[in-house]
Structure 1
Amino acid sequence: MITFENVSKVYPNGVKGLQNIDVTIEQGEFVAIIGLSGAGKSTFLRSINRLVPITEGDIRVDGKSVTKANKKELRLIRRQIGLISQSFNLVKRSTVQKNVLSGRLGYYGTWKSILGLFTKEDYERTKEALATVGLSDKLQTRSDQLSGGQQQRVSIARALVQQAPVILADEPVASLDPITTEKVMEDLKKINQEMGKTIVINLHSIPLARQYATRIIALKAGAIVFDGNAAALTDQRLEQIYGKAIFEEKAGEIDETERNSSF
């Protein structure tokens, strides 16, 4: 469970990244965060593991304060939170196996981490994670030899090996083609439904949010302006979130998606 209690974030230049956020995300939810660029989506997501420190309020994960945690406590909390980013964050010259195994580094001391002394169980976890995302045959492949979609699925496997109950995904499909996007989203849906992991994902695409999320939270100027399921996200609500001109563009995106899915 992730709890925001009166959370605000003001950047040094005066920009309000978050404004008085009070929200609880329950275990096992698939939550999509939507809104315009600059609405606060990444600030919201990255504040959960304190990659972005907040200015006011408190954020708790499984009852433990991320905001007030000391260095050791924060390290333990971050072990419970996987992160998938748009840029994949892989060591490109390393094998897929080594990149996935890096998800276990939080469980090792400094010297074992440096020397890469992983257990037999961790190697088995790596194989299982790669099988989950359909990349069993890429175990010893260098990561820079993979397509963008495959690299993103390696980063998903890394989060699985981490055994984190919470997975944060920051625009994970923004640079992928439509077919690969669907594969990655299906992987995340499978992980959510079959493993019970909580997924919090930033998305620019309204159709993807409607299709995959069990709950949608919309941000505007750092404040929550919508919190509900896909059925409640009406066109009128979307126009309020995005503004008329941008909503019409988004509506065209929705129409195009529905037209393509009919073939």
Structure 2
Amino acid sequence: MIIFENVSKIYKNGVVGLRDINLRIEDGEFVSVIGLSGAGKSTFLRSINRLTDITKGDIRINEVSVTRAGKKQLRNIRCQIGMISQSFNLVKRSTVQKNVLSGRLGYYSTLKSILGLFSREDYERTKEALKQVGLLEKLHSRSDELSGGQQQRVSIARTLVQQAEIILADEPVASLDPVTTLKIMKDLKDINENRKKTIIINLHSVELAKEFSTRILAFKEGRIVFDGTPEKLSKEELEKIYEKNVGKEKEGSRHGDKRYDTL
């Protein structure tokens, strides 16, 4: 369970990232976060694992304050939070196996982490995770030999090996083709439904948010302006969120269907 209590973030240049956010996300939800660029989506996501420090308020995970956590406690909290980004965040010259195993680094001492001394159990976890995302045959391949979609699936496997209870995904399909986009979204939905992991994902595509999530949050100027099920996200709500710039069908849509123009 994730709780935001009176959370605000103001950057040094005066830009407001979040404005008085009060929110509760239950275990096992699939939450899509939508809104215009600069609306606060990435600030919101990165504040959950404290990659971005908030200015005011408190964020708690299972009643433990992320905001006030010390170095050791924050490390323990982050072990339970996987992160998937648009840029994959893989060590390109390392093998797929090593990149996936890096999800276990938080559970090892600094020395063992440097030397790469992983247990046999973790090597088996790596194979299992790669099998789940359909990449077991790439175990010993260099990561830079893979396609973009395959690299993103490696990053998903890394979160599985990490055994994270919460998976944060920041525009994970933004640079992928329509077919690969659907594969990645289906992988995340499968993890949500079958492994009961909480998924929080930033998306530009409203259609993807409606299709895959159980709950949608919409941000505008740092505030939450919509919080509800996909069925309740009406055209009128979208016009408020996107300042009436909705319904535009982008040529070469990534989803192979209508995609709301959020630029």
TM-score range, shorter chain: over 0.9
Aligned counterpart, 1:113? 113
In structure 1, what residue type is equivalent to 2:215? R
CA distance in structure 2 between the aligned counterparts of 1:110 and 1:20, rounded to whole angstroms: 38
Query: 1:33-58 deviations in whole A, cap 9, x for unaligned?
Result: 00000000000000000000000000
Residue 66 of structure 1: CA displacement? 0.4
Contact 1:207/1:254 (<8 A) preserved: no
Q: Secondary structure in 2 aligned to 1:257?
A: coil
Residue 63 of structure 1: CA displacement? 1.2
Contact 1:206/1:254 (<8 A) preserved: no
Residue 165 of structure 1: CA displacement? 0.4
Q: Secondary structure in 1 aligned to 2:153?
A: helix
Aligned counterpart, 2:66? 66
Aligned counterpart, 2:161? 161
Correspondence list, 1:238-249, <5 A: 238-244=238-244, 246-249=245-248
Q: Secondary structure in 2 aligned to 1:102?
A: helix
Q: Secondary structure in 1 aligned to 2:257?
A: helix
Q: Secondary structure in 2 aligned to 1:14?
A: coil
Aligned counterpart, 1:178? 178
**Structure 1 pair 255/144, CA: closer, same or farther in 2 (3 Å)?**
closer
Aligned counterpart, 1:123? 123
Aligned counterpart, 1:195? 195
Residue 46, structure 1, aligned to residue 43, structure 2: no
Q: Secondary structure in 2 aligned to 1:249?
A: coil
Contact 1:50/1:67 (<8 A) preserved: yes
In structure 2, what residue type is equivalent to 1:247? V
CA distance in structure 1 between the aligned counterparts of 2:81 and 2:184, rounded to whole angstroms: 19
CA distance in structure 2 between the aligned counterparts of 1:206 and 1:254, rounded to whole angstroms: 12
Query: 1:64-102 deviations in whole A, cap 9, x for unaligned?
Result: 100000001000000000000000000000000000000
**Structure 1 pair 256/186, CA: closer, same or farther in 2 (3 Å)?**
closer
Query: 1:201-234 deviations in whole A, cap 9, x for unaligned?
Result: 0000000000000000000000000000111000
Q: How many residues align?
A: 258
CA distance in structure 1 between the aligned counterparts of 2:258 and 2:5, rounded to whole angstroms: 38
Aligned counterpart, 2:36? 36
CA distance in structure 1 between the aligned counterparts of 2:87 and 2:249, rounded to whole angstroms: 24
**Structure 1 pair 221/178, CA: closer, same or farther in 2 (3 Å)?**
same
Contact 1:30/1:192 (<8 A) preserved: yes
Aligned counterpart, 1:209? 209
Q: Secondary structure in 2 aligned to 1:226?
A: strand
Aligned counterpart, 1:75? 75
Cα-Cα RMSD: 1.6
5+ residue gaps, structure 2 = none
Q: TM-score, normalised by structure 2?
A: 0.95
In structure 2, what residue type is equivalent to 1:53? D
Contact 1:206/1:250 (<8 A) preserved: no
